[in-house]
Amino acid sequence: MINRHLRRLVALTTAAIAVGALAGCAGTGGGDADSTDAGGTYTWWDPYPQHEEGSDWANRVQACGTEAGVTIQRTAYDTTALTNQALLAAQENNSPDIILLDNPAVSTLADTGMVSTTDELGLDTSKIDANLLAAGQLDGKTYGIPIGANTLALYYNADILSAAGVDPQSIKNWDDLTAALAAVSATGNKGITFSALNTEEGSFQFLPWFWGAGANLDELDSSAAVDALNLWKGWLDKGYAPNSVITNSQNTVWEEFLTGGFAFAENGTWQVNSAAKAPFKTGIITLPAKDGGAAPAPTGGEFIIAPVQQDTARYDTTRKIIECMTTSDGFVETANTFAYYIPPTEDGQKALLAEHPELDTWVSAVQAAKGRTSDNLGTKYPVISEQLWTAVQSALSGATTPQAALDTAQQEAAAKTGE
């Protein structure tokens, strides 16, 4: 079953893994490792080549191997190469014992049959937040554990809002936010910047508004979806957002915000430290849903998964290593290492907030977040996402109306996913 699916999925890998190149965050295969369960070497792949051997992260991985009574042979790839290598290793029956994989790619690997389920490994996922765990689920089965999550929120320039008489905590819905942008514009300042790029970054940043309107990815042309795209288009038409959003990457968005000219910027947890060093006072609020409350923003972050092994005696030690990495203390350590992944459990979140109470808004944002491949979309997501970002580009550029753009997107997505 693995090889049959892999022949199809290797061709899809480039599209599928594009969804993972967002959150700022990956050797040799398991077949060459000692197959003895007690002792020996276990292979580990992750997407963190910036954390070299001897780093806190690498030492922590090795410590979990030591606790399980084995040596870990760690290899780090960038995010794109990691998924490619994982698929190829499975095709060659040479998978590593453990992979840390960006969450949208989990369903790509699971669909091949190359990933063990958490039930098969005897892993307890009962304390993992359901909205975060869903990114690693397919057809009712769970294929790993999130080591943490990051997501999007609205950073704000407190000086600009103060000058405009806007209390950021009063922004509860779209109408409130649009009124705040109008007030900011009246003072001569710029309103909001975000990324509507024609890549996964554009979909990633549009999804909170899309989901916040009540839209679903299996119906791109719904009235709720049109409302979300009309919101963005309206901001551009009124001058509340610059036309540059069409070509902005998330990094460009942040650079624009740091100039001090924008009241708001949509960006992620990974900018927390940079925001603290900005030459003006900053703050964050959760992205508002259309009618109030926090909008579901897409989750970033990795899952720890265990590829299928021919030598099933290895699984007991694999489970021990994974359990070591996913304790409450372990989740907090990961959060601090990657500044900041929010732990995927209530206990871990409380422990993190005890150290960093200023991350409270981010914890709330992650609690409301949603996996891009949730709703059992699996490998359909990259196809749908491409049609979504294409529609956003078309509407914001003025090439067509939001309704027409989304009508076309739905037709194309349905044709390409066979639905």
Contact 284, 361 (CB under 8 A): yes
The per-residue pLDDT for 337 is 86
Q: What's the average model confidence in pLDDT over 192-204? A: 97
User: Minimum mean pLDDT among 2-11, 55-64, 404-413: which range?
Assistant: 2-11
Contact 41, 25 (CB under 8 A): no
Give the β-pairing of 262-268 and 190-193: parallel
Q: Assign residue 201 a region: left if phi > 0, alpha if psi is -120 to 50, beta otherwise?
A: alpha
Q: Give residue 34's pLDDT band: very low, low, confident or very high (50, 70, 90).
A: very low
Question: For 126-165, how does the pLDDT look when each residue is reduced to its tens digit (9 = 90+)?
Answer: 999 999 999 999 999 999 999 999 999 999 999 999 999 9
The per-residue pLDDT for 26 is 30
- CB neighbourhood size of 335 (10 A): 26
Q: Give residue 99's pLDDT band: very low, low, confident or very high (50, 70, 90).
A: very high
Mapped to the 3 state alphabet, what secondary structure does 225-291 carry?
HHHHHHHHHHHHHCCCCCHHHHCCCHHHHHHHHHCCCEEEEEEEHHHHHHHHCCCCCEEEECCECCC
Q: What's the average model confidence in pLDDT over 389-395? A: 98
Q: What's the average model confidence in pLDDT over 198-205? A: 96
Q: What is the spatial distance between Cα 234 and Cα 266, in angstroms, rounded to a whole number? A: 17
Judge whether residue 76 has pLDDT over 60: yes
Question: For 175-195, how does the pLDDT look when each residue is reduced to its tens digit (9 = 90+)?
Answer: 999 999 999 999 999 999 999
Query: What pTM was estimated for this model as a whole?
Result: 0.89
Question: For 158-168, how does the pLDDT look when each residue is reduced to its tens digit (9 = 90+)?
Answer: 999 999 999 99
Q: What's the average model confidence in pLDDT over 388-398? A: 98
Question: For 286-307, how does the pLDDT look when each residue is reduced to its tens digit (9 = 90+)?
Answer: 999 999 999 999 999 999 999 9
Q: List, in order, residues 6 or more apart from 141 with CB less than 8 Å away.
A: 110, 117, 119
Q: Where are the domains of the chain?
A: 2-150+301-367, 152-297+377-417
Judge whether residue 8 has pLDDT over 80: no
Question: For 356-387, how does the pLDDT look when each residue is reduced to its tens digit (9 = 90+)?
Answer: 999 999 999 999 999 999 988 989 999 999 99
Question: For 307-337, how does the pLDDT look when each residue is reduced to its tens digit (9 = 90+)?
Answer: 999 999 999 999 999 999 999 999 999 998 8
Whether omega for the bond prior to residue 156 falls within 30 degrees of 0, making it cis, is no
Give CA separation, 307 vs 20, 144, 149, 160, 313, in Å. 19, 10, 22, 50, 13
Question: For 224-237, how does the pLDDT look when each residue is reduced to its tens digit (9 = 90+)?
Answer: 999 999 999 999 99
Q: Give residue 38's pLDDT band: very low, low, confident or very high (50, 70, 90).
A: low
Q: Percent helix, strand, coil in the chain (nearest 5)? A: 50, 15, 35
Give CA separation, 230 vs 242, 354, 405, in Å. 15, 41, 11
| Same fold flag, 2-150+301-367 and 152-297+377-417 | yes
Q: How confident is the prediction for the chain on average, in pLDDT?
A: 91
Which CATH architecture fits 2-150+301-367? 3-Layer(aba) Sandwich (3.40)
Question: For 250-296, how does the pLDDT look when each residue is reduced to its tens digit (9 = 90+)?
Answer: 999 999 999 999 999 999 999 999 999 999 999 999 999 999 999 99
Q: What is the spatial distance between Cα 150 and Cα 342, in angstroms, rounded to a whole number? A: 6
Q: At what angle do helices 328-337 and 346-355 cross, to 10 degrees?
A: 50
- Homologous superfamily (CATH) of 152-297+377-417 is Periplasmic binding protein-like II (3.40.190.10)
Backbone angles phi and psi of 101, in degrees to 5: -130, 140
The per-residue pLDDT for 338 is 84
Q: Give residue 36's pLDDT band: very low, low, confident or very high (50, 70, 90).
A: very low
Which tokens belong to 47? 């997407």
Q: What is the spatial distance between Cα 78 and Cα 49, in angstroms, rounded to a whole number? A: 6
Q: Give residue 22's pLDDT band: very low, low, confident or very high (50, 70, 90).
A: low
3-state secondary structure of 307: strand
3-state secondary structure of 345: strand
